[in-house]
Structure 1
């Protein structure tokens, strides 16, 4: 059984956690600056299309849908925004205004800020990866974004459960959260079946970010089980920070080396 001292976020642990937050923020800021420089050096931006298909005739007719270009996502700018957003929340965690509630929340094995950040980071990541794999329809993209963000917020509900309580929120969130990745896999495999195999960059970024997402969910599950190293809330948080930073770094690196350069 976990003792009170193990659960307490002591001054030493709090200082260590602040250092990790600050280091992650500085790393993300450095990456945002680097990607910004690469984007500004480009002669033309890399744009990912967002389209909408409208019925071409009466219900049941064989008329082709009318596809309209609604907008385009500037890939470089999207990655910079993602890096900056994550860095901003890491910096917020070490500010005096937030640090007190952040520490008290961790002592109770709760951190809503963690899931606010990851709900958006994971949702934007899935949105972009879906576009890499050929998904352009606005309805599908918005649905993938919303499903991913919503699935992550189930983990915030899980933290409301008492220690040793039900894992239903986690299970429901996992069931919902795997759907966007299944849809992305459908497009990637389907392209291969049609002999239009996605380029190596697309395959590697998809698999690597899926692996990071799986590790984030595994860390959350282990944190609720509270055994061994995961009995310490600050360690669970450090692993979470590391994984989210790793995920955004992998996305940025793949985009820079696979597309922008």
Structure 2
């Protein structure tokens, strides 16, 4: 179990953490600028449809449902918003206004801002990956977004448990959080079986981001176990920042080369 001494965030620890946050924020901000330039230069935007299907007759009827085009998500703009949002939170963490509460939270092995950030980053990522895999129905997309965000917030509840104690919130969150990826896999495999194999970049972005999501959850699990190198909350935080930055970078890079350029 992690002891209070292990949780001590020294000046050296915090200086390193602030440097990691600053570098990650600047890297994400630079990517947001780069993707923005590509979006502005590109003549035709990449639009992902959002539809709604309504019953075409009485219950049990074989009539075709009425499918309505509700909106379109500009893929490039969505990626820019995701990058900018994550960069903003990274840079906010190093400002004098939030530095004190950030340090005190880490000393208590808690960082609610970490999970607020990741709940939205993960949810938006799943939303976009689902769209890339052919999911268009608004109800399904909103459900995938909400389930992913909600599952991630279980990790915030896990931090309320002392390190080394019950991992019940983690287990519940993992059980819920795997569902959206299972639905995405269903669409991707189903399309392949029907002879309409998704593009290579769609397959790679799906698998790579699933791998990063699994690593984020593994990092949270190791942190709450409080063993070995993960006994100090600063290590957990640095790995978390690195993984979230990596995942957002993988999404931006693969969308950039696979769809926008």
Distance 2:80 2:236 in 1: 27
Give the structure 1 partner of residue 31 of structure 2: 31
Residues 223-248 of structure 1 show CA distances to partners (whole Å, capped at 9, x for unaligned) of 00011110010110000000000000
SS state at 2:100 partner: helix
Which residue of structure 2 aligns with residue 153 of structure 1?
153
Shift in Å, 1:5: 3.1
Preserved CA contact (<8 Å) 2:163 2:223: no
Q: Which residue of 1 aligns with 2:175?
A: 175
Q: Which 4+ runs in 1 deviate beyond 4 A?
A: none
Equivalents in 1 of 2:177, 2:192: separation in Å?
24
Partners of 1:157 and 1:6 in 2: how far apart? 21
SS in 2 for 1:45: coil
Distance 1:113 1:92 in 2: 10
Aligned counterparts of 1:255 and 1:192: Cα–Cα separation in 2? 20
Q: Distance in 1 between matches of 2:145 and 2:238?
A: 26
> SS of the residue aligned with 1:17?
helix
Corresponding residue number in structure 1 for 2:92 = 92
Q: Per the alignment, in what secondary structure is the counterpart of residue 129 of structure 2?
A: helix
Correspondence 1:74 to 2:105: no
| Correspondence 1:224 to 2:221 | no
Superposition pairs of residues 125-164 of structure 1, within 5 angstroms: 125-164=125-164
**Which residue in the other structure is 1:60 paired with?**
60
State the superposition RMSD in angstroms: 0.8
Aligned equivalents of 1:6, 1:19: Cα separation in 2: 21
Structure 1 equivalent of residue 255 of structure 2: 255
Structure 2 distance, partners of 1:5, 1:224, is 16
Equivalent pairs, count? 261
Q: Secondary structure at the match of 1:70?
A: strand
With normalisation by structure 2, the TM-score equals 0.99
CA–CA distance in 1 between the matches of 2:220 and 2:90? 18
Structure 1 partner of 2:240: 240
- Alignment gaps of 5+ in structure 1: none
User: In the TM superposition, what is the alpha-carbon distance from 1:2 to its structure 2 partner?
Assistant: 4.2
Query: CA-to-partner distance for each residue in 1:156-212, whole Å, 9 max, x for gaps?
Result: 000001222211100000000000000000000000110111110000000000000
Q: Within 1, Cα distance between the matches of 2:183 and 2:5?
A: 45
**Quick check: 93-102 or 72-81, which moved more?**
93-102
What 5-or-longer segments of structure 2 have no aligned partner? none
Distance 2:231 2:165 in 1: 15
- Partners of 1:36 and 1:117 lie apart in 2 by 21
1:114-150 alpha-carbon deviations (Å, 9 max, x no partner): 0000000000000000000000000000000000000
Structure 1 residue 104: deviation in Å? 0.5
Q: Tell me, what secondary structure is at the counterpart of 1:90?
A: helix
SS in 2 for 1:56: coil
Helix, strand or coil: the match of 1:63?
A: coil
The Cα of 1:258 is off from its aligned counterpart by 0.2
